[in-house]
Structure 1
Amino acid sequence: MKPSLVLSTVLSLLLPHAAHAGDCAERIATITPGKLTVAAYDYPPFTFASPDGTITGIDPQIVTRFATDHCLDVVTQVMDPAATIQSVISGKADVAIGSWNRTEKRRQVLDQSAPLYIDHMGIYSKAGDTTIAATLGKRAGTVTGFFWVSDLQKLFGSNLKLYPTPVALAQDLAADRLDVGFLGYNAGSYNQKTQGAYPGIAIRIAEPDDRIQATVLPPQTTVLYTKGNTSLGTALDLSIAHQHADGSMAKAVRDVGFDPAILDVGAPRSVK
């Protein structure tokens, strides 16, 4: 993404303190003072999460940079996708990461940072389906937590199975217990290219279909954080803007083989 001259100028004036780890005069409210508790799940390349709590990838780089610039130690909690959101809602974690989409539903119980990057919906199938119409009537699956779940349930009804993780879905797809899966395109294409994941499965960006909002207006991803924590949200948004502007976020996505065009997020929006 190419920030405008105005944005770059504003950031140069507003961010000198946030950009240096040694200057921590700003008070940011967190569950444990001096620490940023991060709930994460394994979703390469956005988040590589190990059971021992080690996290790397695009999203961890973003929150770690934020924490470092504000003299906060990162404490990680690794769990299933849906559990990361509940961890923040219940006050056990400050933020949740893992390519989460900005949605109206989540705004009711969580606050959402400025957008990070675009996440297209992907269709995973042996048939190479690219349209929603081509998948109707088939045994379909997706993972709990994606905002397109409700739209898919309306179309597929009992033919749609919900999974706790992408790995569980992939196993059924490979074993022919499932005909088609709906997951994020970015992560799937990355894992297929780098790790040989989804052998024999075609991963395609879903063509626009008004029945599935995610195909018409690709969602923006976000860092989810405790609702009402203004000090955390304001500082986080400023850090994200800085990381867009200084090229560090572009480097992070290039390092995993993605086109930095996914950083061209546009104005913040929350999908229904």
Structure 2
Amino acid sequence: MLTRRTLLRTAGIGIVAAAAGIPLAGCAADDAVLRVGTKIDVPNFGFQNPQTGTVEGLEVDIARELARRIKGSPDAAALVGVNVTTRGAMIDNGTLDAVLATFSVTDERKRSYAFSRPYYIDHLGILVKQGKGLEAFEDLDGKTIGVALSATSKRTLEDAAREAGIGLHFAEYSTYPEIKIALVADRIDAFSVDRSILGGYVDDATELMDVAFAPQRYAVASSLDDPKLAAAIDAAVAAMQSDGVLAALQEKWGLASEMADETAAEAEAQAASAARVGAAAPLASEAPVVQAPGGGGDA
């Protein structure tokens, strides 16, 4: 069993080369470099291209843009591959300055990390194999759902199942490809994580159920011990929202949607609120986040 102590000892292992022009990330702090953790298994967010070996996606591009605005150059982004079990630990042990890894904001996580305002809003979804007769949420009664280890998807679905009067079983995995393989091999009946993530795993044999749960607000996570960096990151994300760069990057990766519109609307509402009180908008880590019961999906 992986313990938090084990994670803190091993979190520096598995560093990967990222987008073209970005050097292999190191572990030592460097004022000229922004060390950022991204996923490598989430198409359109952070995915290692099997043909080029580079990591690409919305969160990779945002990391480079943050480095440009904070450190003066997009090439100052040193990217490190993370997953749901290592991303927080690598902030804890000082290996990373920040994480952009489909990390959703919850009240519990805000006690451990500083979060920027959201850069994307998603909802928890469910992927199933075609031809299995699984169309409505109630059809999953007694079925086994594959979820990411340490993600909040399980808790959200448990709450939804209680409300629907059905029972679910769960199997936890370390990576999304593992869950997809288990689904294809019929070891599980469904794969649940945020809908935009699931979109990258849809193929001719699978389909997304027409359900959505609990808004997932993706934000940049950093250490509570470095409020100056957290403020700089939040300001950079706010600027990216204001000048259209964020919307352009979402569109580039096919992620511009009503969820993206909700992100922009939330930013505008936050700015309007700040103007009314005559103060700067608070960091997302200080502002209340409204969650559905269970509080989240991935990350």
How would you bin the TM-score normalised by the shorter chain? 0.7 to 0.9
What is the CA-CA distance between 1:225 and the residue it aligns to? 0.8
Equivalent residue number for residue 26 of structure 1:
none
Equivalent residue number for residue 43 of structure 2:
44
Change (3 A) 1:246 1:160: same
What is the CA-CA distance between 1:250 and the residue it aligns to? 1.2
Describe the SS at the equivalent of 2:205: coil
Q: What are the Cα deviations for residues 57-114 of structure 1, in whole angstroms up to 9, with x where unaligned?
A: 1112112111112226222221333212211122111111221111112112111111
1: CA distance, partners of 2:171 / 2:181: 13
Equivalent residue number for residue 153 of structure 2:
148
Describe the SS at the equivalent of 2:139: helix
Residue 119 of structure 1 contacts residue 220 of structure 1 at CA under 8 Å; is this kept in 2?
Answer: yes
1: CA distance, partners of 2:99 / 2:211: 26
1:117 and 2:114 matched: no
1:255 and 2:252 matched: yes
Describe the SS at the equivalent of 2:101: strand
Equivalent residue number for residue 237 of structure 2:
240
Residue 97 of structure 2 contacts residue 222 of structure 2 at CA under 8 Å; is this kept in 1?
Answer: yes
Residue 113 of structure 1 contacts residue 223 of structure 1 at CA under 8 Å; is this kept in 2?
Answer: yes
2: CA distance, partners of 1:110 / 1:231: 13
Percent of residue pairs bearing the same amino acid type: 20
Residue 114 of structure 1 contacts residue 222 of structure 1 at CA under 8 Å; is this kept in 2?
Answer: yes
Q: What are the Cα deviations for residues 141-193 of structure 1, in whole angstroms up to 9, with x where unaligned?
A: 1112432222345759882000111100000100111111112211222443x
| Superposition CA RMSD, Å | 2.6
User: Gaps (5+ residues) in structure 2?
Assistant: 1-27, 271-283
| Pairs aligned (count) | 230
Residue 141 of structure 1 contacts residue 182 of structure 1 at CA under 8 Å; is this kept in 2?
Answer: yes
Q: TM-score, normalised by structure 1?
A: 0.75
User: Gaps (5+ residues) in structure 1?
Assistant: 1-29, 193-197, 208-214
Map 1:182-193; keep pairs closer than 5 Å: 182-192=192-202
1:226 and 2:238 matched: no
Equivalent residue number for residue 10 of structure 2:
none
Describe the SS at the equivalent of 1:142: strand
What is the CA-CA distance between 1:228 and the residue it aligns to? 3.0
What is the CA-CA distance between 1:123 and the residue it aligns to? 0.8
1: CA distance, partners of 2:167 / 2:95: 34
Residue 153 of structure 1 contacts residue 160 of structure 1 at CA under 8 Å; is this kept in 2?
Answer: no
Q: TM-score, normalised by structure 2?
A: 0.69
Equivalent residue number for residue 67 of structure 2:
67
What is the CA-CA distance between 1:115 and the residue it aligns to? 0.5
2: CA distance, partners of 1:221 / 1:250: 14
The aligned amino acid for 1:48 is: F
The aligned amino acid for 1:45 is: N
2:171 pairs with 140, 143, 161, which one? 161
1: CA distance, partners of 2:94 / 2:220: 15
